[in-house]
Structure formats: structure tokens, C-alpha cells
Amino acid sequence: MRFTVSRRWTGDVWTDAKLLQADELVAEARAFAARRALLRDPRPPRRPVRAWLGSLLLAAGHRLLGSVPSPASQRRPLVGGSGPPAAVPPTGRDR
């Protein structure tokens, strides 16, 4: 789909000339971009590089944040006792 400057003639010579000049500049820029696209070397696909960089950044983030789970034998208990957790936590209202 191509968009061009409106071709409405305003009746003003200066405005019509500027509109025509803008239309010619757009056409020239479009031709220049097409010529560069045809003459340049095709770039290699970037997907493997992006995947590698993404995995590297994720690994660095996990390492910095310490989100890698530690083995079960090295985990510290959340609350002070070394025994098995109680089925129901004490509420302090024993009657």
C-alpha cells in the first residue's frame, strides 16, 4: 500500500509546488530504500543469537537473585525447631 501526498490543487502556486516537491521526495526516498534493500547482503537469521543471549541473561538474573533452589539437605527450617512441624500451629488459647 502506498501513501502519497494529497493531489488536491489548492489554487495557490506556492502551496501546489510544495505539495509536488513533497511527493517527489517521498518517491525518491522509496526508490532509495528499495535500491539499498536489493544491493545489500542478506543478513543471517538472528534467532539463534537472540535465544543464546536470552538464555545468558536469564542465567545471570537467576544467579544474581539467588533463585536457584538449594538441595533439601542444606535448607534451613523456616521456624526455630528442628523437629517435625506441628499439624496445627498453637494459637495461645488452650482451654
Whole-number Å distance between alpha carbons of 87 and 84: 9
Cell numbers given for 43? 543478513
Does 49 fall in a domain? no
Question: Does residue 95 sit within a domain?
Answer: no
Specify if 34 maps to a domain: yes
Residues 6+ apart with CB under 8 A from 6: 19
- pLDDT by position in tens, the chain (length 95): 455 555 677 888 999 999 999 999 999 999 999 998 888 877 777 788 888 899 999 999 888 887 555 666 665 655 555 555 555 556 666 55
Residue 78 lies in a domain: no
Total tally of structural domains belonging to the chain: 1
Domain assignment present for 58: no
Q: Look at residue 33 and tell me if it is in a domain.
A: yes
Residue 57 lies in a domain: no
pTM: 0.37
Show the cell assigned to 15.
502551496
Give the domain range for residue 20.
13-40
Stated length of the chain: 95
Residue 47 lies in a domain: no
